[in-house]
Structure 1
Amino acid sequence: MRLHHALLFLPIVGLACLSAKANDEPERPPNVILFLVDDMGWTDGRVFGSDYYETPNIDAFAKQAMRFTNAYAHPLCSPSRASILTGQEESRHGILSAHGHLKPGPWGEQVYQPATPRNEYLLTKSRTYLNPDATTLAEAFLGAGYRTAHMGKWHLGLTQEHWPDQHGFEVTFHSAPDPGPPGSTYFSPHGVHSDGKPSAAHRVGNIVDGPEGEHIDDRLGTEAIRFITEHQDEPFYLNLWMYDCHGPWEAKQDLIQKFAQKETQPDGHTNPVYAAMLKTMDDNFGRVMTALDELGIADNTIVVFFSDNGGNTHSMGASEQKRKMANPKSKTYGYTKIYSDYAGVQYPTKNLGLRGGKGKLYEGGQRVPLMVRWHQHIPAGSVSETIVNNIDLYPTLLELTGQAEPANHVIDGKSIAKVLTEGEEGTGQTSVSYFPYHGGGISVRDGDWKLIRRYTSKPDQYEGLVELFNLKEDLAESKNLAAEMPEKVTELSKLIDSHFKHTSGLPPKPNPDFQRGSTSPKNSRSPTHGLVPKQCRIESIDDGIRVIAQGKNPFLGTAQVQLAGPITLHLQVRGIDGKSGTGRVQWRTQEQTDFPATGQTVDFEVPESTSWQDITVQVPVEGRSQLLRLYAPATDGLDIRSIRWKAQDGKPVQWDFSTDAR
């Protein structure tokens, strides 16, 4: 555990002022609970406008708290969580996508990710874990004498050196990798190991299985209450980061059946599986709030209710369900069948009144529920239209608890403490979200206006590379005003440019190798042809490519082969200088977050010959492939003339290097 920041925090007289009691002893500073829901949309709850979802505990909480109608998070989880814990913009901390479960690399300056001539811009490469030198919110509280705990989803670093106990949390309850619940199931057993290398096949952490069928969020509620009870007589900071409502889309069967029988409206929420997930989350939120009341510490506890990004409006469509149920023996078959039976092919939720959802820069991906309660300090049942960002929680909680900001840590957020305690409406607040991938870009909201700047043309998804909306008149972002109001575009564009400069971020830049209309490797200046070389380099030869080993495990990786298994691989290869050797194929499916530590590999032999050899490899993929690796013999390498991946159904994916075409 890193404690070297402890001496940097000096007490100040703030909102949690040290007023004297009869014995001149200072009052105890307030506790803090940061309750974070995964993928909860802006309207996912009764208090937020839903007539279908049942969230009685959240609704009751809203009557005791201040609710924000203009609260923003990043469109994806890892960047949003990093911003909460550091108070920093994504362009500063560098976690730009949901990569917190991927293999960590060395920390260094931000760099651009590889691009082809088809890419008009070079995009910033996302980091995969928190900066080890950042002073997290937990470290700030720890340095001020608080007891600290993190329970639930982390998704901010795969390996142990990047886990929450290395960022100021004394007590933890989590596992890795963790885009979703441990073991990719909400129900015990989860199969989490206490040590080893974290992977999709080997979950590692300190989550211990409970009774068979125990829901993980029920367990989080129990562990949270245990921590609160044990530390009720001293100030504490608790991260309670729920796994609901993230995929896999499974829930308690009795709740699914209950919501399936409810009457629905076609223009409202209609998904019984998601409703059941939301209800379980609400139940456990209620359990924790009840525990505070029973222990008599509710009045001295600040509770933040927040979501990490907008609601999911893209998962579990017809094609995804077909893929997940392709193999009745697969792990995904059971819950997908239940989802299909009760929810059909509808997406998990609907961000009613907003455009888009999770992973999008539109309001549906960024605008989220936010409520803050502190009895006798924050007006109960109040509503604020102040623009609030996830980065604002850090300075706000420090000010509310009477702490100074750490001297060696840059904070981009602005405190809204006076908005909460004095009812002031914030002024000058803007919201910036940087997500450059998958047709994303960067967005800025300033007052009623919002600008989105894109770096990839996708005419079927949005109009042009610049979109301008007046959210006061067009919350659904249905009319792009960029062409009509170039002055406003220029004004907001300056805010984006200033944002990158202020945060020392690495903005996208034009690709010097961009070739308009380039669609195939034939136009590429690189011999990689869309393949990613690792521990090797690729050179073009007269009738193929040469893979030259530069490490012990040279391979070509690709995410362009997404086929339903089993898959047959046809190769035309030869050893360099005719030498023999052993190659290998490794795969990861779309249901896995990492390559398994063992298994899922098939070897093939390359005979000694200077002629091209036709080799066929049967690859027993279960499910649909996501990433494939073709390993060359480690001693020298391999010459490749062609690669052809073929499934039983579907079009083959192939490279023919003799003609320089795919």
Structure 2
Amino acid sequence: MRYIRHCFLAIFISLSSCLPQSELPKESSKLSYNVVIFLIDDLGWTDLGCYGSDLYETPNIDRLAKEGVIFTDAYSACTVCSPTRAAIMTGKYPARLNITDWIAGHQNKHGKLLPPDWTKYLPSQEVTIAEIAKAAGYVTASVGKWHLGDSVVYYPQYQGFDRNVAGYYRGQPPSYFYPYVRRQDTLPYLEGGEKGEYLTDRLTDEASRFITDHSEQPFLLYFPHYAVHTPIQGKDSLTAYYQRKVTDSLQHTNAEYAAMIHSTDESVGRIMTLLDSLKISDQTLVIFTSDNGGLELFDITQNNPLRAGKGSAYEGGVRVPMIIRWPKASKRVATIDEPVITMDVFATVANVLGTGGAKDYHQDGMNLLPMLEANTEVLDREALYWHYPHYHPGGASPYSAIRQGSYKLIEFLEDKHLELYNLEYDIGETNNLISEVPEVANDLYNQLETWRKDVGAQKPKPNPQYDSLKAQEFFRY
């Protein structure tokens, strides 16, 4: 079946090249642009210098932002990681895929609701962005975290990637220091190493080798860092440096987490410098984003002015940094305030690959190139949606949400209560407007319900073991 899909995609692209120019997608071009996607794990909206951090130093990512475009209202497809990763790979909402929690998910045994029978892997029949790239003649690599299924048959090398480095079923590394072992757990698909080696650096070595080896042919590099996910382990020298910087007046105060961000920033800088030295920066699309909001548990980071963090229905759980550097972007575009979401990464990359006409493969995402090139200021999109029929220690109970314009409506599925916020004036989601503008809430709710039916969103089920007191123990992570 996978071979047949590859053949179909190759035929589609081949036939497209034979069509009259007027019938080609506007984004098509004879020049094959390389693609580099940085996906940072658990990176919060304020965790970068260019997004306002008062502790973390990110000069290389800040440089990327100056050379590219900052999206102020970018969102992850989910408040946790695996669904967002599936959305990048397929261009589909997690609810459409039924991949709605991190794999394998939490279980609140005494919660009011039980999660549905959701999918705990990325099905082989889904067409990934890597498969589309390969059909277009690209060489592909995934370097870092995968977390899209326990079985090897769902790993990157079976989902369109020519090379898989360190990607397997777990969502965090055993350790960030060589030999990357904790108890019985080891990190596969990463051979060799040296004492003192740091995982973020080693993955950058592997990514750099891939780029160098394939700099004369079009390539797609998916670089999903394990950083800055737990375990929180920074280099000693960097941790000591940030410990000297920390004061009580700062919003961000975790020196070891700061060290991890610092190493991640160095990684981005090394890749950017390599692209420059190989003289391919002007033919490479670079996308930088995160899989969900910053983790506020254990005082790891702080997402103010956003409310809450990873695992939450609120902005701190889903609003993330996004930076795109596109060689054809207008120099007049420095920031974009239009709301965008994970699936747009897929749609944008598909258009760069020259397959923008294959809309079936990114039905839930939108191509961002016209905005980057200043051909439009807004997207022709009704709204953004989320559906999370699960519990999370970060504070989430099952919920669905919609954002349209500046309004965001959340339905908490335990008791069906609604909360409505105007993010333009209340980014911290402190003033529930549900009784003040009921007509807005009613319209958004109807749109949300229509969307859930359209994508086949799975509903949580009543829990016969529900115990209100015991249920609260789940949130004492």
TM-score by length of structure 2 reads 0.89
Q: Is the 8 A contact 1:95 1:129 kept in 2?
A: yes
**Unmatched 5+ residue regions in structure 1?**
19-26, 103-112, 193-199, 317-346, 458-463, 522-529, 531-559, 564-589, 591-662
Q: Which residue of 2 aligns with 1:249?
A: 232
Question: Secondary structure at 1:261's aligned position in 2?
Answer: helix
- Answer whether contact 1:151 1:240 (CA < 8 A) is retained: yes
Structure 1 residue 125 displacement after superposition: 3.0
Give the counterpart of 1:97 among 54, 79, 101. 101
Structure 2 match to 1:353: 305
Q: Which residue of 2 aligns with 1:231?
A: 214
The one-letter code matched in structure 2 to 1:140 is I
Alpha-carbon offset, residue 393 of structure 1: 1.3
Query: How much does 1:268 deviate?
Result: 2.0
- Of 259, 264, 269 in structure 2, the residue corresponding to residue 286 of structure 1 is 269
- Per-residue CA shift, 1:219-260, capped at 9, x if unaligned? 111111100011111111110111110000111000000011
- The answer to whether residue 60 in structure 2 is matched with residue 57 in structure 1 is yes
Q: Specify the alignment match of 2:347 in structure 1.
A: 395
Q: Tell me the secondary structure at the aligned position of residue 305 of structure 1.
A: strand
Please state which structure has a larger fraction of its residues in strand.
1
Select the structure that is richer in helix.
2
> Matches of residues 438-453 of structure 1 in structure 2 within 5 Å?
438=391, 439-453=397-411
Count of matched residue pairs: 458
Paired AA for residue 455 in structure 2: T
Distance in 2, Cα, partners of 1:481 & 1:129: 38
Equivalence map 1:140-159=2 (5 Å): 140-159=132-151
Separation in 2, partners of 1:68, 1:171: 30
Identity, % of aligned pairs? 35
SS at match of 1:247: coil
* Cα contact 1:28–1:235 (8 A) shared by 2: no
Does 2:72 align with 1:69? yes
Structure 2: which amino acid aligns with 1:246?
A: H
Query: Of the candidates 400, 419, 423, which is equivalent to residue 471 of structure 1?
Result: 423
State the Cα deviation string for residues 91-114 of structure 1 (Å, max 9, x = none): 111111111599xxxxxxxxxx99
Q: 1:498 to 1:69 in 2, by over 3 A?
A: same
Which of the residues 463, 483, 486 maps onto 2:435?
A: 483
C-alpha distance in 2, partners of 1:353/1:431? Answer: 21
Q: For the residues of structure 2 that align with 1:380 and 1:251, how far apart are their CA atoms?
A: 38
Contact 1:175/1:203 (<8 A) preserved: no
Change (3 A) 1:246 1:384: same
Say which SS state the counterpart of residue 402 (structure 2) adopts.
strand
- What is the match of residue 41 of structure 1? 44
Kept in 2: contact 1:3–1:139 (CA 8 A): no
Equivalent pair of 1:3/1:168 in contact (CA under 8 Å): no
Q: CA contact under 8 A between 2:96 and 2:455: conserved in structure 1?
A: yes
Alignment correspondent of 1:434: 387
Q: CA deviation at 1:80?
A: 0.6
Change (3 A) 1:129 1:288: same
Q: Which has the higher contact order (CA 8 A, sep 6+)?
A: 2
User: 1:503 and 2:461 equivalent?
Assistant: no
The answer to whether the Cα contact below 8 Å between 2:385 and 2:401 also exists between their aligned partners in 1 is: yes
User: 3-state SS of the aligned residue for 1:240?
Assistant: strand
Under a length normalisation based on structure 1, what TM-score does the superposition of the two structures give? 0.65
1:446 to partner: Cα distance: 0.6
Q: 1:15 to 1:371 in 2, by over 3 A?
A: farther
CA–CA distance in 1 between the matches of 2:301 and 2:217? 40
Deviation digits for residues 362-392 of structure 1, max 9, x if unmatched? 0001000001112243437610011101011
Matched, 1:370 2:322: yes
Q: 2:373 is paired with a residue of what secondary structure?
A: helix
Pick one of 78, 81, 99 that aligns with 2:82: 78
* Alpha-carbon separation, structure 2, partners of 1:249 and 1:423: 42
Tell me the amino acid that sits aligned with residue 44 of structure 2.
G
> What residue identity is the alignment partner of 1:146?
Y
Corresponding residue of 2:20: none
In the alignment, the residues of structure 2 paired with residue 34 and residue 255 of structure 1 have an alpha-carbon distance, to the nearest angstrom, of 26
1:216–1:470: structure 2 CA closer, same or farther, 3 Å change rule? Answer: same
Bigger CA drift: 438-447 or 480-489? 480-489
Residue 43 of structure 1, CA deviation: 0.8
Query: In structure 2, the residue corresponding to 1:149 is in which secondary structure?
Result: strand
CA distance in 1, matches of 2:458, 2:225: 32
2: distance between equivalents of 1:312 and 1:487? Answer: 34
Q: Distance in 2 between matches of 1:470 and 1:157?
A: 37
Post-superposition shift, 1:490?
1.1
Tell me which amino acid in the other structure corresponds to 1:449.
Answer: Y
**Residues 28 and 356 of structure 2 are in contact (CA less than 8 Å); yes or no, is this contact kept in structure 1?**
no
Letter in structure 2 aligned against 1:361: A
Contact 2:54 2:250 in 1 (8 A): no
Equivalences for 1:405-424 in 2 at 5 Å?
Answer: 405-406=357-358, 409=361, 411-424=363-376
The corresponding residue for 2:256 is 273
The superposition leaves residues 544-586 of structure 1 with CA deviations (integer Å, 9 ceiling, x where unpaired) of: xxxxxxxxxxxxxxxx9999xxxxxxxxxxxxxxxxxxxxxxx
**SS, match of residue 121 in structure 2:** coil
Give the counterpart of 1:164 among 156, 160, 167.
156
In structure 1, give the amino acid aligned to 2:287.
V
Distance change (3 Å), C-alpha of 1:205 and 1:265? same
